[in-house]
Every structure is written in C-alpha cells, then in structure tokens.
Chains A and B, each alone.
Chain A
Amino acid sequence: MSIPPAVEISGLVKRYGPATAADGLSLTAGRGEVTAILGPNGAGKTTTIEVCEGYRSADAGTVRVLGLDPARDAARLKPRVGVMLQSGGIPPAVPAGEYLRTLSRFHVKPHDTAWLLDIVGLTSHVKTPYKRLSGGQQQRLSLAAAVVGRPELVFLDEPTAGMDPQARHATWDLVTALRADGVGVILTTHFMEEAERLADHVVIIDHGRVVADGAPAQLTGTAGQLRFRAESGLDTDSLLAALPPGSAAKESPAGHYLIEVPGGTVQPALLAAVTAWCADRAVLPSSLQIESRTLEDVFLELTGKDLRA
C-alpha cells in the first residue's frame, strides 16, 4: 500500500449561509513537502485549512489528512499534526514557558520546552504572560506550540504575520529545517517572497477554487523579464523600437524600467539592444536583472487587482 499524501482534498464545498468559502476545491500536498496556499482575503484559505484541522465539516467533497478523515479519525490524527492558528488561542495571563510545558505534556515524546523556547528566541520571556508579548513574540510562541509534539505535519496559518524581519527569517529557517527532517508543512501566507523561498508546491486559491497549482518555477515560467534602473523620463517608445519584435517596455514607477517578452525568454540580443540603446544616450543602467515573472505578478494576474473585502 502506498503512503497517502499529507493532504488530499477533492471537490471540497463549504458554505456559510449564502457565502461559499470553498467551491469544489481540490488539491494534494505531498508528505515532507512545504505547500503554500495563497489567495486574497476571503478566498477560502483559512476555511480549507480548518477543514483539514477538523474544525469544520465539509458540505461536500472528501478531505484526507495523512490518509485519515479529520472529523471521524480525529483522535488518531490530532497527535500527529501540529497547528498554528492565525491568531490567539493562548490564555492571555499564562506565562509563555508554562503554556508550552502544559501543551508538551499532551505528547509522548515532546521536545524540551526550554530548548524550544530558545530556538524561537523567547528564553528571556519564559515568565512573561502571553498578553505582554509583542505580536511577533506571540506568533513565535504559537509556532513553538505547533511543533512541540514532534508532528509529522504542521498547519501554519499566516505564520509570519506581524513578525519583524529577523523573526521572519528565523521562522523560514525553522520551516526549512522541518522540511529537511521530513515534516510536511502546509502554510498560508500573503507574502509571495515567503512562498517563493519556502514552498515546493504553491496553490493559489480564489473564490473558493484553485486557480493555479504547481512548483513556484512552473508558475512563474521562464525568464521573460529584464529590469533596470536609470534616470527617469527616458523615451520608452524609442527603446521599444530598438528591441526585437514582440517585446514590451514601460517605466513604472519613475526610474524603474521593465522590458517583457510575453511567453518567451530574454535572449542575449535583447540585452545587447538595451545596453546599446542606453550607451547611445550616455545612460548607465543600474540594477539590471533578467528574471522570470515573480510569484506576485502571477498572483495578481490570476486574482486581479481589485481590493477584497
């Protein structure tokens, strides 16, 4: 018998009154992989995760986590899965160390809590009540609580929201280390950089459906962009005229120039044409980069630029 995937969702439907949070959503997350679920606010990310965590029942469709039904097999599944909620969940007056120690006692072989607090940088806050921790520190305690029981799979709902850059990088290191040791990670995030750095597999959700699914490189495609910086107000029409046919050029914002080869790859001749054009005008381009579209470009293209409620 093959080992079931970490998460297998097929045709998930979940409605709240007239609102449809999941509308026939299907995805598979591999064991020991980092899967990032992206989507605008209200797209159905948290609903999807909470069905997997056993908090909500599906109106239709099947959901399997480590091959188990999160509702029916809850008692067998919960010890194997770590959860970090989007916010809260920890009693405000309880000191960080005490809270983590209590949770650790629900597990057979928990991590040493003093060591774990050190890993997430909270050693000097062992006795600090949860409510006196900063937002980022609260997130880190919540992250520690998700991994204290040596889980096979962790669900992290916006783990780095509210963290400073140091804490965010340390969290990324932790997720990378979890993955390296075979722990599956399902995370939701609004930070595209986070998904690009961490995820083996990205799923973009909108209006309760999957609109894109694949490895980050698959989604962003080939290196079809050339960016550079120079003085603002250069004549992009003449630049475009100097480029191979099918290219597009624009200045946005001022002083940032973007040349795209839709569906194609930047060729050496394009680079030569751009630098020759600059040389003719005695312009020295800086920060010249040839790259694929970013995940953010893909995300905005698929989900639009309208603000979500």
Chain B
Amino acid sequence: MAGEPVQPIKPGTWTPDPGAAPLHRMIAAQAAQETRQLLRNGEQLTLMLIIPLLLLVAFSLEPLIDFGGGYTRIDFLTPGVIALAVMSTAFTSQAIGTGFERRYGVLKRLGATPLSRAGLIAAKTATVIGVELLQAAIILAVALALGWSPDADVSAIVTVPLLVLLGTAAFSGFALLLAGTLRAEATLAAANLIYVVLLGIGGVVFPLTKFPRAARPLLELLPTGALSTGLRDVLANAAAFPARDVVTLAVWAIAGIALAARFFRWE
C-alpha cells in the first residue's frame, strides 16, 4: 500500500483457525507491554524513580530537616522513600496511565480480545509489582551506599512485603477509581495533586511528629502515612508486627477495590 509493494496473498492464507492463548501467556504478554510502556515514558520514570531518589539523596546528605526520634537521616528517609515509590507507581502512575487508556479506547479495544477483564487487571498488577521490585532494588542500593543500616527484626522478611502489597492494593484501588470515573485530564490533575499532598503529609520526608499533635493520628490513618510509618517501625525500630498500620492499609485496600469495582467505567 501507499508506495510499498503489495504482496500477492495466497489462497488459504486466511483460513480461520482461532483460539485463545493460555491465560498466563496473555497476562505475561500484556504485562510485558505495559512495563515497556512505563519504562519508555519519561514523565512516569521521573515520578517513579527520579523524584524518590532525589529526595533520598538530598535530604540524607544535608541536614535540611531535624527528623527527631534518634534516627540517622538515611535510616529515617529510606522507609519513607519506599512508601513514596509504592504510591507513585501503584497510585499516580497507574491512575494517569489507565485514565488515558480509557480515553484512547485502549481498554475498549482490549475488551474485544481474548484477554478477559480479570486478566487485564492481573497484568496491570503484575506490571506494578514488577516496577516496584525494580524501584526497591535501586532505592535500597542507593540507600545502602549512603550508609543505611536497617534495625529490623527477622520478621521484616514477611512484614515489609505485606505492608507493600497492602499499600499497593489500596493505591491501585483508588487509582482505578479515579481513572474509571473522571475524564483523563481530571484524573491527571487529581492524581498529581494527591501525590504532592500525600508526599507532604504522609510521613515520607517530613516526620509526622512535626505536625500538630491533634493531626497526627489522622495523618497516620492516611494510606501513605500508614505505609511510611509501618515500614519505618519495621525497618528502623525493629518492630515485630505493625498491627495498626497493617489494619489501616487493609481497610483502605478493601475500600478502594470495592469502590473501583462498583464505579469503574471501561469506556
């Protein structure tokens, strides 16, 4: 077509022979596609990697804030920056990406393929978790290079993934709620605004102890506050099981997923 040679098409070429690939192969193909899309996108990379790393390096090298509580700067910052990385991927990036996919009819078109909606959600979840593992590897390597020395119980092997998974579920639920109900531009604005606000009041870089005493319990009940506080308890205070933060995140996760399931519109 249009300047390129048209191939003669042999009879029998198009003889029908349909069939859906196994679900795990479809999910893997879609997740690989979405991961490549994310890693190619400069704005998303800035959000997911550059900003967390900049905060980690800048606030740990210079005494910009008194963190209190007897922490070294890097020991205070590392759990908070991990919480921020989880929020940026599972919430902000996923909300914006899905919002535009909905606008461009990408979700609609995928609905005509053998990949089911549950399969698509599984692919998105696998993408988020894969990117989080990449973020964790880079952030933890930089933190160790900056002198991070975690003070953690052996149970952290379980509690850290648990907190991150619950946080991911909560953030993903609300990401899909925004993306599936608002226009793409409104989702973009709201997701960025919420990101900045929660970065400020979520115990990521600025300790919650610096906020008025009355506000603190409320801030610890926000998903970012619960995730950063829980991770800090486990990684800097050797807490065995941060029960309150686990419960808080679980409630957010259930609420977010239930609301998304109820209100999400595919087109």
Contact = CB atoms under 8 A, between A and B. Distances in A.
A89 B106 contact: yes
Contacts of B36: 98
Given A53-B112, A89-B105, A106-B114, A183 B4 contact: no
Given A140-B1, A181-B11, A149 B109 contact: no
Given A78-B20, A79-B114, A121 B4 contact: yes
B11 to A, nearest CB: 6
B11 A90 contact: no
Nearest to B12: A181
B9 interface: yes
B151 interface: no
A88 interface: yes
Interface stretch (A39-47, A165-173, A253-261): A165-173
A300 interface: no
B25 interface: yes
A93 B43 CA distance: 13
Nearest to A145: B109
B262 interface: no
Nearest to B36: A98
For this complex, into which size category does the number of interface residues on chain A fall? 35 or more
Contacts of B30: 102
Interface string A143-154: 001010111100
Interface string B90-113: 000000000001001110110111
Contacts of A183: 14, 16
A119 interface: yes
B105 A87 contact: yes
Interface residues of B, number: 42
Contacts of B6: 121, 170, 173
Given A85-B108, A94-B33, A118 B9 contact: no
B29 to A, nearest CB: 4
A223 B9 CA distance: 34
B37 A93 contact: yes
Interface in A263-302: none
Which of A75, A93, A149 is packed against the most chain B CB atoms within 10 Å? Answer: A149
B11 A180 contact: yes
A81 B112 contact: yes
Which of B15, B32, B40, B114 is packed against the most chain A CB atoms within 10 Å? Answer: B114
Nearest to B29: A105
Nearest to A53: B112
A119 B105 contact: no
Given A149-B18, A151-B16, A107 B114 contact: yes
B115 interface: yes
A4 interface: no
Contacts of B37: 91, 93-94
B174 to A, nearest CB: 23
A109 interface: yes
Nearest to A179: B14
A108 B2 contact: no
A140 B101 CA distance: 20
A149 B112 CA distance: 12
Which of B11, B14, B25, B40 is packed against the most chain A CB atoms within 10 Å? Answer: B14
Contacts of A87: 105
A76 to B, nearest CB: 9
Contacts of A149: 18-19, 114
Nearest to B117: A74
Contacts of A177: 9, 11, 13-14
> Closest 7 interchain pairs by CB?
A89-B109, A121-B1, A108-B19, A105-B29, A83-B112, A88-B105, A181-B14
Interface of B: 1-4, 6-7, 9, 11-21, 25-26, 28-30, 32-33, 36-37, 40-41, 101, 104-106, 108-109, 111-116, 267
Interface of A: 53-55, 75, 78-81, 83, 85, 87-94, 98-99, 102-103, 105-109, 118-121, 123-124, 136-137, 140, 145, 147, 149-152, 164, 166-167, 170, 173-174, 177-178, 180-183
Given A93-B41, A105-B28, A108-B21, 20 more contacts: A54-B111, A55-B111, A78-B113, A78-B114, A81-B18, A83-B112, A89-B106, A90-B106, A91-B106, A102-B30, A102-B32, A106-B114, A108-B20, A120-B1, A150-B14, A166-B2, A167-B1, A177-B9, A181-B12, A181-B13
16 contacts: A54-B111, A54-B112, A55-B108, A75-B20, A78-B114, A81-B112, A85-B105, A89-B109, A91-B106, A94-B37, A102-B33, A121-B3, A152-B18, A166-B1, A173-B6, A180-B11
